[in-house]
Amino acid sequence: MNQEQITKLELSIENMKNKKSRIYLIDQGTKGNAKASISYIYRLAMSLLNAGYNPIILHETPEYTGVSGWLGDEYMKIPHKSIEGQNLEISPEDLIVIPELYGFVMSQITNLPCGKIVLCQSYDHILETLQPGQSWSDLGFLKCIYDN
pTM of the entire structure? 0.86
Q: Which helix (H) or strand (E) holds 106?
A: helix 103-108
Q: What is the pLDDT of residue 97?
A: 95
Q: What's the average model confidence in pLDDT over 102-117?
A: 86
Q: What's the average model confidence in pLDDT over 58-84?
A: 86
Which residues on neighbouring strands pair with residue 115, listed in sequence order? 95
When comparing pLDDT for 122 and 80, which is higher? 80
Q: What's the average model confidence in pLDDT over 115-139?
A: 81
Q: What's the average model confidence in pLDDT over 34-53?
A: 92
Contact status, residue 122 vs residue 90, Cβ threshold 8 Å = no
In this prediction, residue 59 has a pLDDT band, given cuts at 50, 70 and 90, of: confident
Whole-angstrom distance, CA of residue 45 vs CA of residue 67:
13
Contact status, residue 98 vs residue 105, Cβ threshold 8 Å = yes
Phi, psi of 49 (to 5 degrees): -60, -45
Q: What is the pLDDT of residue 82?
A: 85
Whole-angstrom distance, CA of residue 58 vs CA of residue 69:
19
Q: Which stretch of 39-43, 112-116, 131-135 has the lowest confidence by average pLDDT? A: 131-135
Q: What's the average model confidence in pLDDT over 47-68?
A: 89
pLDDT tens figures, 13-42:
888 888 889 999 998 777 777 888 889 999
In this prediction, residue 135 has a pLDDT band, given cuts at 50, 70 and 90, of: confident
Region for 58 from its dihedrals, namely left if φ exceeds 0, alpha if ψ lies in -120 to 50, beta otherwise:
beta
